[in-house]
Structure 1
Amino acid sequence: MSDPERVTLYYSPQTRATGTRVLLEELDAPYDLHVLNMKASEQREPSYLAVNPLGKVPAIRYGDAFVTEQVAITIYLGDLFSQAGLTPALGDTLRGPYLRWIAYYGSSFEPALMDRFMQREPAPVTQSPYADYDTMLGALEVQLAKGPYLLGERMTAADILWGVAFSWTMMFGIVPKKDVFVRYSGRITSRPAFQRINAADAEMAAQHASAAST
């Protein structure tokens, strides 16, 4: 049986779940990994589809609570481990902007990125969830220019979500390597938590690739 006081993170290396694992490290939260080898399609097995019918990671379990969707997980964990100081409390003037930019990730950034990556024509601006790609990214550029973090001087759980996301989207050329994005992402990826998980991910991914080839 799992310890009800520990978070179980359903995980695969070098995926969106990496950001959640980095966040758990930053929160100093007790957690265990339930690793899925996506190269062996373990995320499509019935046992995991019962956790997340979409067969995606990350997902978490804490006690009897299951949470999917990276945005929801970020908010949930930040509030659950609020003693780490990475979440503006209710009543804090930063709480609204904090929720805004976390929601922006799922509602605007990801849809825009997928359209750009798949070379799909976006919906008309009046119907698109993100207006258009340049407008969506421009709003982020303006906000991050106020820096050093998304909400100014204070680092929050939102910065873990965004810092890791900028790292991989710039790596694949989906987001341009503008100075403001590079500097911002570097503040997160240079932190010990990201460095530890990035190294662990590389080792785990190599093991999965080896297992899939045998």
Structure 2
Amino acid sequence: MSELLFYTNPQSRGRIVHWMLEETGADYQTIWMDFGPKMKDTAYLAVNPMGKVPALKHGEVVVTEAPAICAYLADLSPEKNLAPPVGNPARGIYYRWLFFAAGPLEAAATAKSMGWQVPPGKSGFIGFGCYEDTINAVEKALSNGPYLCGEQFTAADVYVGSALGWGMMSGSIEKRRAFEAYVGRLYARPAPQRANAINEEYLKQSRQQA
């Protein structure tokens, strides 16, 4: 496997990818990026023209967007069983909720946090429809097992769990018993604990050097 270069900031969605990298057990090099000029310089814009993190470089391949990186890493490490195999019906469930969280769930949570209101009669024009339907759909998806794909933990759980965890902490997603139990199971895994420790240590060192 070519070297994985992981561009991130500890106060970004990079924490999602950091968790996923730890789940794979792959060797990777972390490149810490400060917000501001460093993310907008020519060298980094050649990696991600958006000038944002996270980003993953694998040889000549560059992947941005946290859910895409999680899916890419799952396929890169098939021995870890972080995605149902192609042909397995659970693969459809995996794709469904991975992209649901990246689309309707994030949009609904953002709308709530920003105080945006969908005008009456206009929900059909909005991808997430309405906040209540979106949140109810996620809650129903968690009723089929400890994970989204039943007994199998996947990259979709990394992304959906991260979205729910952050959303409940920030208030953009209401706390529900099913969400708290699900996130609690996920955060008890060794990989997110390792990733979190790495990020917190970097933040601690950065503050000491400031």
Percent pairwise identity? 36
The AA in structure 1 aligned to 2:33 is L
2:41 alignment partner, one of 42, 45, 48: 45
What aligned pairs does 1:113-124 form with structure 2 within 5 A after superposition? 113-122=109-118, 124=122
The AA in structure 2 aligned to 1:206 is K
2:156 alignment partner, one of 132, 155, 158: 158
SS of match in other structure, 1:104: helix
CA distance in 2, matches of 1:119, 1:46: 35
TM-score w.r.t. the length of structure 1 is 0.91
Aligned to 1:97: 93
Q: CA deviation at 1:165?
A: 2.1
CA distance in 1, matches of 2:97, 2:71: 11
SS of match in other structure, 2:63: strand
| Cα RMSD after superposing both structures | 1.6
Q: CA deviation at 1:176?
A: 1.4
CA distance in 2, matches of 1:176, 1:117: 11
On the 8 A contact 1:164/1:189 being kept in 2, the answer is no
SS of match in other structure, 1:145: helix
On the 8 A contact 1:13/1:201 being kept in 2, the answer is yes
CA distance in 1, matches of 2:155, 2:106: 18
Aligned to 2:50: 54
Moved over 4 A (4+): none
Give the gaps of 5 or more residues in structure 2: none
What aligned pairs does 1:12-161 form with structure 2 within 5 A after superposition? 12-38=9-35, 40-122=36-118, 124-161=122-159
On the 8 A contact 1:144/1:180 being kept in 2, the answer is yes
SS of match in other structure, 1:9: strand
CA distance in 2, matches of 1:122, 1:140: 20
CA distance in 2, matches of 1:202, 1:134: 34
The AA in structure 2 aligned to 1:119 is G
The AA in structure 1 aligned to 2:25 is D
CA distance in 2, matches of 1:71, 1:17: 11
CA distance in 2, matches of 1:52, 1:208: 24
Give the gaps of 5 or more residues in structure 1: none
